[in-house]
Structure 1
Amino acid sequence: MGQLPLKLRQKGWLEKLAGYFTGESMDYRQMIALFLPILIDQAFIVGLNLVNTAMISSSGMAAVSAVNMVDSLNIFLINVFVAVATGGTVVVAQYKGSGNNEMVGKAAAGSVTSVALLSLAIGLLFAGFHNPILNVLFGSADPEVLGHARTYLIGSCVSYAGIGIVQAVCGALRGIGKTRASLMLSLITNVTYVLLNVVFITMLHKGVYGMTLAVNIARYAGAVCSLIYLFKFETTLRLKLGNLLHFPISMLKKIMFIGLPFAAEQMFFNGGKILTQTFIVSLGTNAIAVNAISSSLAGFFQIPASALSLTIVTIVGQCIGSGNVGDARKFIKSILWLGSSLLLVTAVILMPFFHPLVGLFSPPQEIVGEIFKIVLICNLFSIVLWPVSFITPSALRAAGDSKFTSITSMLSMWLFRVVLGYLLGIELGYGILGVWLAMNCEWGVRGLIFLWRYRGTKWYAHKLI
């Protein structure tokens, strides 16, 4: 027999590949429909943050350093209520998988209400105590950097309730598979933020103060649009304003079963990152700038994998909700391989454009070499370690295995990244490179533990709904 025609051979290869992402719960077409909007969303969020950092660099390295320092605290605080929103996403996805549409709506309402209240409380608390917080964490920074940091922290805290509502609504929509709607609401918030930064920073030269104005207007505009969409256009959930003012305690317990351990994990995990940031502050303003620019570029390279870590919550949540553990196992394995493949492709495509990318930040020439070294090493480690360290816990959490994933992440952060970061970066004199090497090592330790958990049976033994 002769060889098959090229088109038939290609079709067979594509069908085999699609088979890894097709099961009884959903097929590869549904996964692509979930993944693409989240990918676009992550690309815009990271890309626009890249542009925002580049814009604020026009106000000097002190402004870049201040924004980076406060953003480490912002990530710490915002991830606490985003963790509760993730609990809502998991519960919504599992009810959606079980076919119980009435409980889907109640879970969405409970998530929005709890996240809104929590984000408001956190914002008020940290705005009120901004001075002692900055002095404890970053007191060794230059006075100019501290002044900018004070302005940016207060402005960020005021905006928390707005971003909390946006995150909760988008999380609920992702849980039912409405990732396009989630994408549009996220784009409204983030594109508005960038456009306002162009006005306030580039045109009016308001610097860090202009950035705080932009973030508040954009986040509250996004919150208003999110609530309007939820009440007026989302027919699946059928929510009204009264649903947000009253929700059963039993539903809150389900959301918090996932949300609270994840929130605790985020507090300890990002608390470790803040402590690591204090090591970097002691190395000087240039070191802070190196860390800020390297973090922005690393996040840019990790966009596709980050999108997968969000997508897998809906996929595994719906599989577990329908009682199909086999599909959940299969999809986790396939998505881990896909994550590594995407990281490899992204690195190969983007590394040749390193100098144009880093040029967006207008860094002093003496730190460009160190930024390149950090980004290159981070990309090499990411291909192997990032998916198992970040995508796997998202999958386990979607099955209800929140306590184990949270405890593992907290312990690995403090025992490896913080301690090893201090030893390599400060005691042994490797500086910012040592801190990043410690982070990559921590990914490996955490990833191995999560893979061991995935190979067992306890991760899907929880009865959430």
Structure 2
Amino acid sequence: MKETSTKKLTLFALTWPIFIEVLLHMVMGNADILMLSQYSDDAVAAVGVANQLLFMLIVMFGFIATGTSILVAQYLGAKNRILAGEVTVVSLGANLVFSIVISLIVFGFSSQLLLLMDLPSELLAEADSYLKLVGVFSFVQALVITMGATIRSYGFTRDAMYVTIGMNILNIIGNYLFIFGPFGIPVLGVEGVALSTVVSRALGLIVITVLLLKRIEEPLPFKRIFQLPMSHLKNLLKIGIPSAGEHLSYNTSQIVITFFIVMIGTEALTTKVYTQSLMMFIFLFGVAIGQGTQIMIGHQIGAGNIEDAYKRCIKSLRLAILISILTAIPIAIFSDTLLGFFTSNPDIIALGGTLILLTVILEPGRSFNLVVISSLRAAGDVKFPVYIGILSMWGVSVTVSYVLGIHFGLGLVGVWIAMIMDEWLRGIIMLRRWKSKVWVNKSFVVSQSKNAS
């Protein structure tokens, strides 16, 4: 993989390490939940709400990483490795400054942010301690995300996977030590889970930094960071801000929906956390296929292979839909047993089983968005998904969640129906956009070539 080219990049070669990496990210979150469930259901709910806010931070940090991934892939496809290296340096510097500012804000206003979620008072102390500790070091995660996006665009998806494996092993060991307290180690509960998360991410950052410097042949121009063209940052923002807008809209809408669920009760909130923990294992295939497809299409667009890029998206979409269905059905069949690993509460298990059954309908619709939106983004068509996403997420998902879940008293079932409507509506619109091929001339590499000529 020293000479990265479109011909050498295959979906399988790119996707399986991404799949393992995403799986392990989800395992890390589920390890926290599973271990905390042995400690306290309230602790699970507290960490679940705090993580909802932390996910939003990751989205904010990810907007520069998204732009980095796309620009680097397009420049490599065009065989311009010097510009790819310059973009990498600019993105790391920009995300470091931005993430430090955000980390300090979260640390200073953690309790106020949690109160905006209308968190029950008995959960506030634990949620606040978790959010403070993980939040103040969230700049570490920002750098890990940016370096991971870069190294994957160069084709080294296995390196990012190995780093995630190490981080997960360290995190699980730390959770075990601080939750169960073997060898006389003090039981720290939620604070222990937070400490374990921070330490594992910090060590992961060190390793992925070494790998990034080792894998890229051309020395990265860190010494010239203030001399590099501002056009790199502008292009990163042109891609990243709209892309982040879509993710930010989604996560903000999910926070509002979580607020509705808090109105239903703590048991409903806990059911949501457990159910979505299982759902993650369904849509992770779509996430991996979407990310692998984005890298391939970025290279193909940079190389000018438009028809190959078009066909790649359609093939990946069919594969993602098929796998999501084949994965969702067995999980729905054995939902009682799987939910039993988290809780013995029969009401939570029964309601969670119903939600997972609805997930069999939900996940194929989500596959459209995971694959097609990633493809549009890789081609430079970044604004359209944001506009449609905001309209659908808030006009359908949030609005219908309140109407069905709160007004008509359907609770979490009403929320899940709203999510189904949102995913399928957006997915069909995105597919029509891809088939229209209006994205053909939106590539930044193509635009620069035209301007140069």
For the criterion TM > 0.5, the same-fold answer is yes
Q: What percent identity do the matched residue pairs reach? A: 29
Change (3 A) 1:244 1:307: farther
Aligned residues of 1:166 and 1:185 also touching (Cα < 8 A): no
Per-residue CA deviation, residues 281-316 of structure 1 (Å, 9 max, x unaligned), is 111110000110111110112221111111111011
The yes-or-no answer on 1:211 pairing with 2:190 is no
Aligned residues of 2:134 and 2:195 also touching (Cα < 8 A): no
Counterpart residue number, 1:252: 233
Q: 1:321 aligns with which of 302, 315, 322?
A: 302
Counterpart residue number, 1:79: 59
> Equivalents in 2 of 1:70, 1:302: separation in Å?
22
Counterpart residue number, 1:9: none
Matched AA of 1:134: L
Matched AA of 1:133: L
Change (3 A) 1:335 1:237: farther
> Equivalents in 2 of 1:457, 1:96: separation in Å?
23
Per-residue CA deviation, residues 182-234 of structure 1 (Å, 9 max, x unaligned), is 11122222332222111112224311111111111111111122222223x22
Counterpart residue number, 2:451: none
> Equivalents in 2 of 1:357, 1:296: separation in Å?
10
Normalised to the residue count of structure 2, the TM-score between the two structures is 0.92
Counterpart residue number, 1:136: 116
SS of residue matched to 1:205:
coil
> Equivalents in 2 of 1:328, 1:464: separation in Å?
15
Equivalent residues in 2 for 1:300-449, closer than 5 Å:
300-383=281-364, 385-449=365-429
SS of residue matched to 2:419:
helix
Q: 1:192 aligns with which of 166, 170, 184?
A: 170
Structure 2: which 5+ runs fail to align?
446-453
Aligned residues of 1:54 and 1:362 also touching (Cα < 8 A): no
The yes-or-no answer on 1:53 pairing with 2:71 is no
Change (3 A) 1:391 1:224: same
Normalised to the residue count of structure 1, the TM-score between the two structures is 0.90
SS of residue matched to 1:458:
coil
Change (3 A) 1:303 1:463: closer
Per-residue CA deviation, residues 111-165 of structure 1 (Å, 9 max, x unaligned), is 2222222222111112211222222222xx3322111111111112112111111
> More deviation in 45-54 or 409-418?
45-54
SS of residue matched to 1:26:
helix
> Equivalents in 1 of 2:401, 2:370: separation in Å?
20
Equivalent residues in 2 for 1:77-156, closer than 5 Å:
77-138=57-118, 141-156=119-134
SS of residue matched to 2:137:
helix
Matched AA of 2:122: E
Aligned residues of 2:140 and 2:201 also touching (Cα < 8 A): yes
Aligned residues of 2:331 and 2:356 also touching (Cα < 8 A): no
> Equivalents in 1 of 2:322, 2:399: separation in Å?
31
Counterpart residue number, 1:15: none
> Equivalents in 2 of 1:170, 1:359: separation in Å?
35
SS of residue matched to 1:459:
coil
Matched AA of 1:356: T
Aligned residues of 1:88 and 1:110 also touching (Cα < 8 A): no
Change (3 A) 1:445 1:352: closer
Matched AA of 1:94: Q
Q: 1:225 aligns with which of 201, 207, 222?
A: 207
Shift of 1:245: 6.3
Aligned residues of 2:298 and 2:378 also touching (Cα < 8 A): yes
Counterpart residue number, 2:244: 263
Matched AA of 2:310: R
Counterpart residue number, 2:444: 464
Change (3 A) 1:335 1:265: same
> Equivalents in 2 of 1:150, 1:167: separation in Å?
24
SS of residue matched to 1:400:
coil
